[in-house]
């Protein structure tokens, strides 16, 4: 077991952790990044499956994601636009595929009117919200008490309008059933992208991809850190209180003591933060002693780590109100992009279909054609009760309703299932349950003693996206730099 000392130890080599580590290194601090997996990138994973390069995790960049755009430019990477020429496809409640161009999809004029009116209402509400502190809005408590689905159904009894409006932050973003999260959580999701209208505009939100794959971002960031990124190092324990951390005596645990004995917690937290060795982080093959730590992983995974002393009451409670959404990202590669021959852009969606949305995801310069489709929340749960063959058949059947029978015969087929990934446990990211955002949101990013926090799942701008992860990485590094200067 190696024993090393650094100014800051970063736990998690995703976009957030690697951004923070680079900022700290640039400012002259020594760092070590401990990563549980045998690769960097976390939810960014560009892999080759049966000869096809696939983006198994995050991939798209939208024009408002300035932190990601700056990082991509700094690393010398280039981007290209998603293919979008031709007609899009919408499948309505009658199951019929209808082609359309422009922003509005083919629904009855009354439904279109309702969708337009509610969209305008939502845009006005979102404009009043600061994505970095949605809980500060005067109506935050009220908006956090009602589910997204219930609020929409209070606005109209047009079911098709509700399903389509709900979809943008439900299946397509938070990837949870729309009765399980609040209107406020939905408004945060929209505010993080600038407006509700942005969120439903695929040409905005799914604008560009990085040539060669988005995982190059964490890979190149890690390259700059060299040997200070340690793979296969799941962190199991963090000793962070006062003397035990300062002396590095990891056996000097307070776990299990009565709550009364922890009354001096605040004092010890402050002592740890101001001491020169505030935290000892124990991974499978290395122990790192540092002045500060950054937990750069999804908050749903904090409970996998044993904290000594335990995290305070507020964190224990708060973290139980955050959970991961779940979506299956389906990749289907064909010998050619056959849908383009039919004048289709590849953009297709329906709140009535198993694959609620799908796009042309052909790689830059590739003569083969790739479709990417998404199956979300309860539909995804249900599919995983089936055999792999049945699941594939059901998914391809759904794609064929958008693109025709040829969609049933890909040459490569792959399902990204982040629910089985031990160090992620869902996709795309985590959100609060009903009422949780207003109750705990303001505390989510607050450091605990020498432990700072960074992750896309606690971002304001760029929430649940790589852009948000990078912004949170910069913020956590800045917080530590301010403390070291102070
Ligand atoms: P992330 O989870 O990436 O990193 C945390 C790291 O911590 C991981 O490497 C993990 O292994 C490690 N870790 C966890 N526990 C540990 C422990 N105990 N010890 C050591 N290490 C530990 N975004 C976007 O902008 N555009 C998009 O198109 C998409 N699409 C998309 C599709 C799919 C299928 C997914 C799953 C996600 C997306 N996203 C996305 C979301 C985006 O990928 C995500 O928000 C960020 O990559 C998250 O970066 P973080 O660094 O915050 O966490």
User: What's the confidence (pLDDT) of residue 413?
Assistant: 98
Q: What is the DSSP letter of 256?
A: T
> Ligand 1 pocket check: which of 9, 10, 11, 12 to mutate, most ligand atoms within 8 Å of Cβ?
12
Asked if residues 80 and 211 have their Cβ atoms less than 8 Å apart, the reply is yes
403 vs 328: CA distance, rounded Å: 19
478 vs 8: CA distance, rounded Å: 12
Range scoring the smallest mean pLDDT among 24-33, 276-285, 295-304:
276-285
User: What's the confidence (pLDDT) of residue 486?
Assistant: 72
- 235 ligand 1 Cβ < 6 A: yes
Beta-strand ranges (E) seen in 203-324 are 208-210, 229-230, 235-239, 279-283, 286-295, 306-308, 322-324
Range scoring the smallest mean pLDDT among 64-73, 261-270, 332-341, 406-415:
261-270
Q: Looking at the predicted structure, is the pLDDT value of residue 97 above 80?
A: yes
> Residue 242: pLDDT band by 50, 70, 90 thresholds?
low
CB-based contacts of 371, cutoff 8 Å, min separation 6: 331, 332, 334, 339, 346, 358, 359, 360, 361, 399, 403, 407, 410
The sign of the torsion formed by the CA atoms of 153, 155, 160, 165 equals negative
Give the predicted TM-score (pTM) of the model.
Answer: 0.94
Range scoring the smallest mean pLDDT among 250-264, 291-305, 388-402:
250-264
398 vs 371: CA distance, rounded Å: 12
- 372 ligand 1 Cβ < 6 A: no
Burial 232-263 (b: 16+ CB within 10 A, else e): ebbbebbbbbbebbbebebeebbeeeeeeebe
* Mean of pLDDT over the chain: 93
Q: Looking at the predicted structure, is the pLDDT value of residue 274 above 60?
A: no
- 114 ligand 1 Cβ < 6 A: no
Q: Looking at the predicted structure, is the pLDDT value of residue 275 above 90?
A: no
User: What's the confidence (pLDDT) of residue 103?
Assistant: 86
Q: Looking at the predicted structure, is the pLDDT value of residue 319 above 70?
A: yes
Q: Looking at the predicted structure, is the pLDDT value of residue 276 above 90?
A: no
CA of 463 to the centre of ligand 1 (A): 12
Q: Looking at the predicted structure, is the pLDDT value of residue 272 above 80?
A: no
């Amino acid at each position: 077991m190696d024993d090393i000392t650094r100014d800051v130890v970063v736990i998690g080599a995703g976009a957030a952790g690697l951004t923070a580590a680079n900022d700290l290194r640039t400012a002259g601090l020594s760092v070590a990044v401990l990563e549980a997996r045998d690769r960097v990138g976390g939810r960014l994973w560009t892999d080759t499956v049966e000869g096809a390069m696939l983006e198994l995790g995050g991939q798209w960049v939208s024009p408002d994601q300035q932190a990601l755009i700056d990082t991509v430019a700094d690393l010398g990477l280039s981007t290209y636009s998603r293919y979008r020429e031709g007609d899009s496809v919408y499948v309505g409640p009658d199951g019929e595929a209808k082609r359309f161009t422009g922003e509005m999809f083919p629904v009855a004029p009354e439904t279109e009117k309702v969708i337009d009116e509610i969209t305008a209402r939502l845009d006005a509400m979102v404009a009043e919200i600061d994505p970095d502190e949605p809980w500060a809005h005067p109506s935050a408590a009220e908006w956090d008490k009602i589910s997204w689905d219930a609020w929409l159904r209070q606005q109209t009894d047009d079911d098709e309008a509700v399903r389509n409006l709900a979809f943008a932050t439900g299946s397509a973003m938070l990837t949870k059933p729309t009765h399980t999260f609040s209107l406020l959580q939905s408004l945060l999701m929209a505010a993080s992208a600038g407006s509700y209208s942005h969120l439903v505009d695929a040409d905005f939100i799914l604008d560009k991809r990085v040539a060669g794959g988005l995982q190059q971002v964490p890979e190149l960031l890690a390259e700059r850190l060299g040997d200070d990124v340690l793979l296969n190092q799941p962190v199991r324990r963090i000793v962070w209180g006062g003397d035990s951390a300062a002396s590095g005596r990891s056996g000097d645990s307070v776990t299990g003591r009565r709550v009364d004995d922890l009354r001096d917690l605040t004092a010890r937290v402050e002592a740890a933060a101001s001491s020169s060795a505030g935290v000892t982080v124990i991974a499978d093959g290395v122990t790192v002693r540092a002045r500060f730590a950054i937990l750069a992983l999804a908050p749903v995974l904090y409970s996998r780590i044993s904290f000594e002393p335990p995290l305070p009451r507020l964190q224990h409670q708060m973290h139980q109100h955050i959970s991961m959404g779940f979506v299956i990202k389906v990749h289907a590669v064909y010998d050619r992009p056959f849908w383009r021959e039919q004048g289709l852009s590849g953009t297709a969606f329906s709140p009535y279909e198993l694959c609620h949305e799908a796009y042309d995801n052909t790689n830059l310069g590739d003569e083969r054609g790739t479709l990417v489709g998404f199956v979300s929340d309860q539909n995804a749960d249900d599919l995983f009760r089936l055999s792999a063959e049945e699941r594939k058949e059901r998914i391809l059947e759904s794609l064929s309703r958008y693109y025709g029978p040829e969609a049933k015969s890909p040459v490569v087929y792959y399902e990204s299932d982040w629910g089985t990934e031990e160090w992620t446990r869902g996709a795309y990211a985590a959100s609060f349950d009903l009422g949780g955002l207003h109750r705990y949101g303001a505390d989510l990013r607050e450091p605990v003693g020498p432990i700072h926090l960074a992750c896309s799942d606690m971002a304001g701008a760029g929430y649940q996206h790589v852009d948000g992860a990078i912004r949170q990485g910069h913020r956590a590094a800045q917080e530590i730099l301010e403390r070291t200067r102070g």
